[in-house]
Structure 1
Amino acid sequence: MFLNRLNLGEKEAFLHLAHHIAHSDKNFSSEEQVVIAKYCMEMQMDDISYNHHNFDLSVILDTFELESHKKIALLELMALIYADGVVSEEEQSLIDMIVEHFELNPNLAITYREWAKGISALLLQGEALIHL
């Protein structure tokens, strides 16, 4: 929803981050694949080639300099982790590390989590309405 506000480097970093989180629990679900495909469409980018062996969380997170861009990344990642209805320990741990690295208030993550749950529910309702 807000990824178009990121610069090109941040968009690429975001895709690496999204893939890292989606693969962290060893279950890259079809719902997560759909969300990442939507991210690519929104950012008008091709998907990246993700390799967890070459992934450096600190380097990726340091790409985001503006506080508003850090918040956009966190908000969009929350939507990703709730896409399949399951938040694994690995996903939650990564979110906690991101919040800490970005020096954001941990309460913000709680608020973003609730927003992501609400958006996810609305998207499901919208899909159901289409098929009525």
Structure 2
Amino acid sequence: MLGKTVLMTLVAAACLLAANPKVTEAEAKVKAGKFEEAFALLDPLHKANPKDAEVNKVLAEAHLKYGDSFMYNESLPPRQKYRPALKQYREVLNYDAANKDAKTKIGMIEGIYKQMGMPIPQ
């Protein structure tokens, strides 16, 4: 039993050591609502290794939350929130093509544009 506990502790420690400090810093920036600063940290990491799952996950999350910051900002009128939110939700799919939340929100915004008889921004 003690050996299993030691092994689990070592595995947990290895996972913590494996985390990229820039990714951790970017996650903190996202939580603080500093999305542009998070992208400044993450974009070079993504360029260096586009298949890095950790970086892609955090980029998708950051773009999703950035989109939400527009979409659910009650001080912004619809004409100022939908276009930037849509752009961010579409960005999510560049890093996580299966993201259901982003797809749902894209569909909702595109539906709003259709209801208003306006062209959907590209």
Higher relative contact order at CA 8 Å, sep ≥6: structure 1 or structure 2? 1
Do Structure 1 and Structure 2 share a fold, with TM-score over 0.5? no
Larger radius of gyration: 2
Give the structure-1-normalised TM-score.
Answer: 0.33
Between Structure 1 and Structure 2, which shows a larger proportion of helix residues?
A: 2
